[in-house]
């Protein structure tokens, strides 16, 4: 089983520029809450000095220089002469067809697979010549099946690398508590469980917590969400975005799903066979200007709608709706619905999580108990969810809105269909304008070439 690892630092993603709910948390600090968004927190983070701006990136720069892997008996290299630079605090996603060498390329970074030739530099240190085991303890690693040790509790799994590094027991215990809280799992409830008593999504959260436990500057992720159901996968992606927004690690993420790449990546490396780079650019640039037909095949149809994956719920207006808790008297809720100012009330459970939507007509079925009334809330989104996630949730609900929740599922507000459709129209208008400008630019270039040919200026 691959060794999970970690060390020191933090890294970043596009959402750091989009906004933060406060100062970036330092190791050992208590986790900050998911407060309701404001005009300030929706667009910026507050730095340690009180200045406004994205959290400081403390991940490590990664440089791959002519990296090659050849296997004995194979006529062609699995990875051929790849050179790539990943900035500190950046999330780079490697995407490509099966067999293109993307996982091999990833595993060479922490030398689970030794390169045949080439160099790997992390913060200008050539790591191809140092002890591989020590290197892996400085690099977080998360895989598809979570890789948890089944005979160890959740706490023991998370503590594995800090223990190897010789951390004192009180520090390890505090770090385990912190990491469980960071990935949205109650330490009191989960620290003593064994992996078999966790859902797939919970196992992946613990796997990420273990990879981050020793605070590594680099986190490698090899299709970590590929084995869970689509809904859980969306939530895990949102969780990674939130973590990256807070921790600012350097993340290298492998996937075959281009939509996932768009959602998570600051930049995307689209790989051909042998990991040759077809295009290495931002999601926006790849969606609007794919380098060739191969890249266009990954983008697929509906590029404008795919761009909804580039915008977060935190970037649009989140509004409030009337709420009540399950322990409030039925008469109080009837009075709220009877005032004529609202058609529905969102019922919250004892932990302030969305539970049911109640409309005026539902109360006739209550018969003295709210258990018989209303419509259960089946889907919610977080502020780090994409607008595409939110739109899908809204379209599957006849109410035309979706509840927005915090890191522990607590209610924050709602996003409605009108807000989302306005954003879709803005994206489509922007695409049309860009297409017009592109055609105009091509026309001007053609005119210049025609003029030069007529005047005999061409060589």
Chain centroid offset of residue 233 CA: 10
Q: What is the pLDDT of residue 38?
A: 30
Segments making up each domain of the chain, as ranges: 62-303, 315-419
CB atoms within 10 A of CB 118: 18
Q: Which residue is it, tokens 């690398």?
A: 161
Q: What is the phi/psi pair of residue 253, to 5°?
A: -125, 130
pLDDT value, residue 55: 59
Q: Residues in the chain with pLDDT < 50?
A: 1-53, 459
Residues in the chain: 459
Residue 108's SS3 state is helix
Burial class (CB in 10 A: 0-12, 13-18, 19+), 399: middle
What pLDDT is recorded for position 75?
Answer: 87
CA nearest 383: which of 12, 57, 21? 21
CATH topology for 315-419 is: CBS-domain (3.10.580)
Beta-carbon contacts of residue 357 (< 8 Å; ≥ 6 apart): 344, 345, 346, 347, 374, 375, 377, 399
Q: What pLDDT was estimated at residue 236?
A: 87
Structurally, what CATH architecture does the domain formed by 62-303 represent?
Answer: 3-Layer(aba) Sandwich (3.40)
Q: What pLDDT is stored for residue 66 in this prediction?
A: 94
> Could you write out the DSSP letters of every residue in 276-288?
-EEEEE-HHHHHH
- Class of residue 273 by CB neighbours under 10 A (exposed 0-12, middle 13-18, buried 19+): middle
pLDDT one-digit tens code per residue, 320-356: 888 988 888 777 777 777 776 677 888 898 889 999 8
Instruction: DSSP for 316-358, please give it.
Output: S--B---EEETTS-HHHHHHHHHTSS-SEEEEE-TTS-EEEEE
Q: What is the C-alpha to C-alpha distance for residues 355 and 366, in angstroms, rounded to an integer?
A: 15
pLDDT of residue 330: 76
What local confidence, expressed as pLDDT, does residue 369 receive?
A: 67
């Amino acid at each position: 089983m691959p060794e999970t690892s970690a060390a020191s630092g933090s890294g970043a993603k596009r959402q750091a520029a989009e906004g933060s709910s406060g100062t970036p948390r330092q190791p050992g600090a208590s986790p900050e809450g998911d407060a309701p968004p404001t005009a300030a927190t929706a667009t910026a983070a507050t730095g340690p000095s009180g200045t406004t701006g994205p959290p400081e990136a403390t991940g490590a720069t990664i440089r791959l220089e002519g990296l090659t892997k050849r296997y004995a008996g194979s006529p062609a290299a699995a990875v051929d002469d790849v050179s790539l630079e990943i900035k500190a605090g950046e999330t780079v996603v490697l995407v490509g067809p099966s067999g293109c060498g993307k996982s091999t390329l990833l595993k060479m970074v922490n030398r689970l697979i030794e390169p045949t030739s080439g160099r790997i530099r992390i913060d200008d240190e050539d790591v191809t010549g140092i002890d591989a085991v020590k290197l892996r303890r400085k690099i977080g690693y998360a895989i598809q099946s979570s890789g948890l040790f089944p005979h160890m509790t959740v706490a023991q799994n998370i503590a594995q690398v800090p223990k190897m590094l010789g951390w004192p027991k009180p520090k390890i215990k505090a770090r385990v508590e912190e990491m469980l809280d960071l990935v949205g799992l109650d330490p009191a409830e989960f620290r003593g469980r064994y992996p078999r008593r966790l859902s797939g999504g919970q196992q992946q959260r613990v796997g990420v917590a273990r990879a981050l436990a020793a605070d590594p500057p680099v986190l490698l992720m090899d299709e970590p969400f590929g084995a869970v159901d689509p809904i859980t996968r969306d939530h895990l992606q949102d969780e990674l975005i939130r973590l990256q927004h807070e921790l600012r690690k350097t993340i290298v993420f492998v996937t075959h799903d281009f939509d996932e790449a768009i959602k998570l990546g600051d930049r995307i490396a689209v790989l051909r066979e042998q990991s040759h780079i077809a295009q290495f650019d931002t999601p926006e640039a790849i969606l609007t200007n794919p380098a060739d037909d191969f890249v266009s095949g990954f983008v697929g149809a509906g590029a404008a709608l795919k761009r909804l994956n580039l915008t977060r719920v935190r970037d649009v207006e989140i509004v409030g709706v009337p709420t009540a808790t399950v322990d409030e008297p039925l008469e109080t809720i009837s009075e709220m619905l009877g005032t004529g100012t609202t058609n529905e009330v969102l019922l919250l459970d004892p932990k302030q999580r969305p539970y049911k939507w109640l409309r005026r007509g539902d109360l006739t079925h209550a018969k003295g108990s709210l258990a018989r009334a209303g419509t259960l809330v089946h889907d919610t989104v977080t502020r780090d969810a994409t607008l595409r996630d939110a739109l899908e949730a809204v379209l599957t609900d006849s109410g035309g809105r979706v509840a927005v929740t915090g890191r522990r599922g607590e209610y924050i507000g709602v996003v409605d269909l009108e807000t989302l459709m306005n954003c879709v129209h803005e994206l489509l208008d922007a695409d049309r304008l860009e297409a017009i400008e592109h055609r105009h630019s091509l026309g001007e270039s053609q005119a210049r070439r025609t003029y030069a040919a007529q005047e005999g200026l061409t060589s």
